[in-house]
């Protein structure tokens, strides 16, 4: 080890480390604005995902330079073939082929959307969102529709932990890549406003947005401040780089039918 640092390569490595540490301590323009009490400038959002990322990790967040841009489409499924599977979405700790059996693109009145029909497999599909800065774009909106509620579904209890529709938001993960997850659900039984997390590693923090059968079969638009929900849940601000969003329709715990639809995921400025 000593000989390494005495060598030219070792000195270069040490110098590189010192440069990285030094430059990471230099405040950004945004940091200086925040310290001075100024309002951050609206970001010029042109592409939320690098073209160097693999195709499956890209998203349709492509816009012209626009300092007044207030909303960016994450996915509306309009360009995906009818009956197909959205290529930008991948199974989260599951099999992509099995996920294709659960999720497919359907059309209604000329509008395409993502349909989910659980078969007891319970697979989350997710879309990577590495370049989503929730500090600048804290609002996430989408439409969903519960078509069949799992019987006696109760997200607090493992043996009943099923939802007709659920949206996952992961803004951070720890060193071991264990996600810090917000899970917005349409619950069969829990009242709107319920917040709960079951014990265990990587369990999501459940937030109930819709409840019961009153609106089953109807499209409902949701809009949540994921930044504020993250701070309230985890006691700190999320990093500037997010991880993913995901969806899950499942009935495997209750062994009952569960069906739902998703559409129009959009992020917004404050």
pLDDT, average across residues 35-40? 44
The 10 Å Cβ neighbour count of residue 216 is: 18
Q: Give the 3-state secondary structure percentages of the chain, helix then strand then coil, rounded to 5.
A: 20, 30, 50
pLDDT, average across residues 112-119? 96
Contact 223, 140 (CB under 8 A): yes
Place of tokens 């300092």: 67
pLDDT, average across residues 187-203? 94
Q: Considering only residues 9 and 120, tell me which one the structure prediction assigns the higher pLDDT.
A: 120
Residue 51 has what pLDDT? 32
- The domain limits of the chain are 1-41, 42-268
pLDDT, average across residues 106-124? 96
Q: Supply the mean pLDDT for the chain.
A: 81
Torsion of CA 148, 154, 159, 163, to 10 degrees: 40
Residue 242 has what pLDDT? 95
Could you tell me where the beta strands, DSSP code E, fall in the chain?
71-75, 90-92, 103-108, 111-117, 124-128, 139-148, 165-173, 179-187, 195-196, 205-211, 220-225, 244-248, 259-268
Helix (H, G, I), strand (E, B) or coil at 11: helix
pLDDT, average across residues 142-158? 98
Report, in angstroms and rounded to the nearest whole number, the Rg of the chain calculated over CA atoms: 21
- Distance (Å) of CA 270 to CA 71, 107, 141, 172, 176: 10, 32, 12, 20, 31
Which CATH superfamily does the domain covering 42-268 fall into? Galactose-binding lectin (2.60.120.430)
Q: Residue 33 above 60 pLDDT?
A: no
Residue 7 has what pLDDT? 43
Lowest-pLDDT choice from 33-37, 93-97, 168-172, 234-238: 33-37
Q: Residue 2 above 60 pLDDT?
A: no
Strand partners, 124: 92
Q: Residues of the chain with pLDDT > 70: what percent?
A: 74
Contact 187, 163 (CB under 8 A): yes
Q: How confident is the model at residue 95 (pLDDT cuts 50, 70, 90)?
A: confident
Contact 103, 84 (CB under 8 A): no
Run of H or E residues at 96: helix 96-102
């Amino acid at each position: 080890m000593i000989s390494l640092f005495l060598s030219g390569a070792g000195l270069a490595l040490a110098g590189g480390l010192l440069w990285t540490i030094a430059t990471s301590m230099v405040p950004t323009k945004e940091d200086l604005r925040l310290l001075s009490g100024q309002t951050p400038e609206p970001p010029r959002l042109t592409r939320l995902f690098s073209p160097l990322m693999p195709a499956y990790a890209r998203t349709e967040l492509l816009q012209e330079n626009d300092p007044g841009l207030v909303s960016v489409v994450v996915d509306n499924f309009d360009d995906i073939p009818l009956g197909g599977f959205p290529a930008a979405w991948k199974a989260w700790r599951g099999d992509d082929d099995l996920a294709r059996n659960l999720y497919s693109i359907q059309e209604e009145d000329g509008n395409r959307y993502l349909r989910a029909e659980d078969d007891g497999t319970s697979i989350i599909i997710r879309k990577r969102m590495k370049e989503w800065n929730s500090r600048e774009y804290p609002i996430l909106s989408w439409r969903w529709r519960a078509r069949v509620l799992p019987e006696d579904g109760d997200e607090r209890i493992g043996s009943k932990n099923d939802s007709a529709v659920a949206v996952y938001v992961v803004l951070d993960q720890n060193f071991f890549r264990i996600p810090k997850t917000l899970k917005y659900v349409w619950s069969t039984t829990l009242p709107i406003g319920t917040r709960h997390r079951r014990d265990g590693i990587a369990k999501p923090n459940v937030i109930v947005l819709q409840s019961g059968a009153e609106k089953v079969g109807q499209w409902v638009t949701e809009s949540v401040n994921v930044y504020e929900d993250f701070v309230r849940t985890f006691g700190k601000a999320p990093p500037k780089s997010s991880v993913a969003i995901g969806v899950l329709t499942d009935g495997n715990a209750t062994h009952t039918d569960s069906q739902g639809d998703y559409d129009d995921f959009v992020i917004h400025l404050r």
